[in-house]
Structure formats: structure tokens, C-alpha cells
Amino acid sequence: MNTRPVIESSYAPVVLSASFNQDASCFAVGLETGFCIYNSEPCKLNNLRDFNAGIGAVAMVGRTNMIALIGGGRQPKFAQNKVVIWDDSKQGVVMTIPVLTAVRAVRISRSHIIVALQNSVRVYKFQTTPELAASYETADNPYGLCCLGTQHLAIPGITPGQVRLVELATGNVSIVPAHSSPLRALEISQDGEVLATASQTGTLIRVFAIPSFARLAELRRGVDHATIFSLAIAPAGQLLAVTSDKSTLHIFDIPHPSKLARTESVNGNRALTSQTSGVAPPPGDTDTSQKWGILGRLPLLPRVFSDTYSFASAHFEIGDEPVYGGSTPLNSPGDSGFRPPKGVIGWTSDNTLLLIGGGRDARWERFVIADGEDGKRYCVRDGWKRYHGSAKR
């Protein structure tokens, strides 16, 4: 029998959710006991609110005091069919948005609050009394997919695999037939000109121009099924990062509708055409990785040999954490528990990105894109930290 005394309790609040603000300068985590805000670089606790009750999701408005909260965990602080706007300077609730069903996700900006439900997305104007501006039916959306850009909102369409892109200023709606299977991830670039999508199959990522919706690229993560955790486009809009349950971070070059591709500057005529026309070059003209070399140019071979793969990849930690029974942050789909978020991506510059994850082993990891002596680019892990331990008081 083990009679040795416990030196230190291994208990730490489970991180139910993790998300970056708009420029990835901060990230927010929802805990079984409240929520906290961290500065991204360096990873340092900035704020902690202990409610002794669960917060299933947290969304920040830049670096302001306004924060959107949703109850979650075994003992939710708030009803899960309600979005609460918390003013941290007043340390109190300043407004609530009740809905009829459980909230799957919330996104917030200085002008809008987006509430994702199982089969619809509701758009509110962010004001003293939130005003419902629009409501859109969606295909089944158990993960609450929605991406709020500066000018557009991307959400699932009614048909699985389609993206509905809403222009926030006018309410104009466009439908993008992105995939043949249900969506798993959406991302809009910071400049609002690029849309990236992934489906539940997890093998291909597609990239589209906004507002023409021309397909700029089709990128292959791999040939076997994977669950995509996160998509993120670098600030300049020319690099795309992808994480999945394969515990691998992939970095891709992507064309941009109004910027020169990396390899085009060596060809003056082509560079001038791309720059003046605003049309991206064909995918074959960009500096992307052809994994199979000369095989990719041989006719009649399966398309996986000619597809565009990532130019760099790296391992990140997802651990082997169990599903937490009864600890659902937002009535998560699947089983009675939830799988903690992992591999959530935030670009802090065009060559630096951070990955954060939840659960009991909540980690912050920093990666950099570096040039090797062989002239190739590599993705290298530059540091990591278990961040949620500092939230214990």
C-alpha cells in the first residue's frame, strides 16, 4: 500500500476552451472555475476571474475590456442558451443575449456579435441593447463554425460543404460550394481578401479569393482522413497554417489576389501582370511544395502525386487526454464529455505562430518559419509552456 503523503495536489482546472483575439496578441481560456486572459508573447497571465463555476467559451474584442462569455463545464456559471457580455473594467455583466437553444460558439467585434447555434447563426449589432440584424439557417453545425472578419462573416450554408459569406455592411450573401462533405474549419484573412476552408474529411484545404470566389489553391494535408483542429492565415495573407489530430502543424504558401507570389519577382513580365490585374497566378506558378518531384508531372498518375503539399511541417503536442465525461463546455457533440481543444493557431507575425490547447495539459507552443542552410524553409518549435498552472490561486 502506498502510504507516501501527497506533496502537491495534481488538480488544475480543466481548460474548456481556448481562443485568440483578432491579432493574436492575447488569448482567452474558459475554465471549470472561470476564465483568464494571457498575453501571447511572452506567454504571461494578464487577468484571472474566478467564478467557482464553469465558462465554456470566451471571445475577446481586441484588447478591450469587453468579453463575450458562455457558461460550460460541470457547473456552468451561465445558462448555455445565453451569451453574456462581461465588462472587465466593471467586473460585471453589462448585457445578455438569450436564445432558444444551446449556443455552440460566439464571435465578437466592435460592431457585431455572432451567435452560432446548432442549425442557425444569429447576427447582432453590438450596442447597449443588442439588436438582431439577421438570422441565417445553416446545415447541422455542432462545432459552431463561424468566422468573423472585418468586412465579412463566413458560416456554413444550408447544404453541407457550402460556405455562406455575408457582407456585413450591406447584408449581401454569396454561396461558395467549397466541399462535398460537411465543413470542419473556416478562416478569413486579416485583409478580408482570402477565404480558406476544410471539410470533415480533412485531406484537402481550399483557398478562395474574396469577393470573386475564384479558387486560388487546393492544398493537400495528407491522403488519409484527419480531423482539422484549426486553420489560420498569416497577417500578409500569403501563408496558411493547419493543425489536425495527426499532431502535425503544416505550413503552406498560398496565392493572394492582389499580391505577388514569392517566386514571381524573378519574372518581370509575369509579376507586372499579376500586380496590375489583381488576379492571382495559377497554383503551379507559386513557390509551393511538390512532394513527389518529377512524378507530379507525369500524366495518368493519381492526382495525389501532383497536388500541392505543405513546404514545412512540425510536431505539436496534443497529448493523450481522455474525454471528460459530463464536463461539456457547450453541449459538445459526440459523447457525454468533450475532447479538449488542441492546436488552436494564432499568427503573431508573418514568420511566428503560436499554438494553444486545452484540457488538463493546457499548453502554449511557439513556432517560427526559418530559412535553412540548404535554401529551404522550415517550421521549428521555438519554445513551449504549460500555461494553465499559473491560473491556480
The conformational region for residue 217 under phi > 0 = left, psi -120 to 50 = alpha, else beta, is beta
**How wide is the angle at C-alpha 281 spanned by C-alphas 252 and 288, nearest 5°?**
25
- Minimal CA–CA distance to 358: which of 309, 311, 313, 321? 321
What is the tens place of the pLDDT at every residue in 252-268? Answer: 999 999 888 765 433 33
Cell numbers given for 36: 483568464
DSSP result, 5-16:
PPSS------EE
Mean pLDDT of 303-311: 72
What is the tens place of the pLDDT at every residue in 115-133? Answer: 999 999 999 999 999 999 9
* pLDDT of 331 strictly over 70: no
Mean pLDDT of 223-243: 96
Read off the pLDDT band of 156 (50, 70, 90).
Answer: very high
For residues 95 and 126, the answer to whether their CB atoms sit within 8 Å is no
Q: Among the listed ranges 44-58, 70-84, 138-152, 330-344, which one has the minimum average pLDDT value?
A: 330-344
Higher pLDDT, 321 or 212: 212
Read off the pLDDT band of 340 (50, 70, 90).
Answer: confident
- Minimal CA–CA distance to 148: which of 173, 115, 184? 115
Average model confidence (pLDDT) across the chain = 85
Q: Among the listed ranges 94-98, 201-205, 323-327, which one has the minimum average pLDDT value?
A: 323-327
Cell numbers given for 223: 491522403
For residues 117 and 99, the answer to whether their CB atoms sit within 8 Å is yes
What is the Cα–Cα distance from 197 to 178, expressed in whole angstroms?
7
For residues 387 and 356, the answer to whether their CB atoms sit within 8 Å is yes
* pLDDT of 323 strictly over 90: no
What pLDDT is stored for residue 322 in this prediction?
Answer: 72
